[in-house]
Structure 1
Amino acid sequence: MLLPHITTDEHGHSLLGEVDLNMEPLGGFGGRDATYFRRIQAATQDVEYWRIGHALPGHFVDFAPTGASTFFAVFSGQMHMTVSNGESVQLARGDMMLAQDIAGQGHMTRFIGQEPCTYLMITMPGGFK
């Protein structure tokens, strides 16, 4: 499964790309149709913290690095993230993203649309495996 992915180059500029979170069969729990994300599952012991955020449309977070590998999942509303070269990605309900712009300029986040945005952030200093 391809997810939007923010990284930092050697000059401290944030870049937007994609990362493939390999999915594997779950095993005995969900039958042959169930899968899970191997990389996230393998790194659960490295979770520094997680939180559920809630932001109103119009809220703005200026350019800043994440400080650690951070996984985002949007439950409702919309967020729009822009990297230092001007590229951007819009996330809405059901979308996920991995931000690994740990140093440098980081990314900017705007909460857009007509409804509040509720999202999950999982921060993992050891990165996703």
Structure 2
Amino acid sequence: MRIWTNEAGDSSFEEGHLALPGGHDGDAIGRTFPASSISFRETRPDQALEWHDAPTHQLVLTLGGTLVFTTRDGSSFVIRPGDVLLAEDTTGSGHVWKLIGDDPWRRAYVILPEGAEAGFTATR
């Protein structure tokens, strides 16, 4: 999933995938790209975060928990364990998220340096 700021200044999202062009013996391997840092975080069940932008260009790797993200126009999408979110909406009206279910949200933040490409391709 990718979330970014559209021309109107609102967060928008689209489904897609990260490129995995290499590999052998049944494996698909993505190209390497630089990362500034990685950190881990856990949020208790039944939590939410009100309107905000992504603090930086980052990949959010969900390890546990399920949550729903909503944008200002009322559109929403669900993130589940194993999903990767490319967060690029660092300006504009932002988004909200709310945990659903009984599991905490466990995730890793991979901070991408300025200009780094994660190899995201939208599903058309």
The TM-score by the shorter chain falls in which range? 0.7 to 0.9
> Contact 2:53–2:92 at 8 Å: present in 1 too?
yes
Offset at 1:89? 1.2
> SS at 2:93's partner residue?
coil
Offset at 1:55? 0.7
1:97 aligns with 2:94: no
Q: What RMSD in Å do the two structures reach over aligned CA positions?
A: 1.7
Offset at 1:37? 2.3
Report what 1:51 is aligned to.
39
> SS at 2:109's partner residue?
strand
- Identical amino acids, percent of aligned pairs: 21
Tell me the distance in 2 between the aligned counterparts of 1:104 and 1:125.
Answer: 20
> TM-score if structure 1 supplies the norm length?
0.80
> Contact 1:23–1:36 at 8 Å: present in 2 too?
yes
Where do 4+ consecutive residues of structure 1 move more than 2 Å? Answer: none
Q: Alignment partner for residue 24 of structure 1, among 21, 24, 29? A: 21
What do the CA deviations read for 1:54-77 (whole angstroms, capped 9, x no partner)?
A: 011111111111132211111111
> Contact 1:53–1:119 at 8 Å: present in 2 too?
yes
> Contact 1:69–1:128 at 8 Å: present in 2 too?
no
Tell me the distance in 2 between the aligned counterparts of 1:100 and 1:72.
Answer: 11
> Contact 2:22–2:30 at 8 Å: present in 1 too?
no
Tell me the distance in 1 between the aligned counterparts of 2:22 and 2:26.
Answer: 8
More helix by share: 1
**How many residues in Structure 1 have an aligned counterpart in Structure 2?**
117
Report what 1:128 is aligned to.
117
Gaps of 5+ in 2: 119-124
Report what 2:11 is aligned to.
14
Tell me the distance in 1 between the aligned counterparts of 2:54 and 2:73.
Answer: 17
Tell me the distance in 2 between the aligned counterparts of 1:104 and 1:7.
Answer: 9
> TM-score if structure 2 supplies the norm length?
0.83
> Contact 1:68–1:125 at 8 Å: present in 2 too?
no
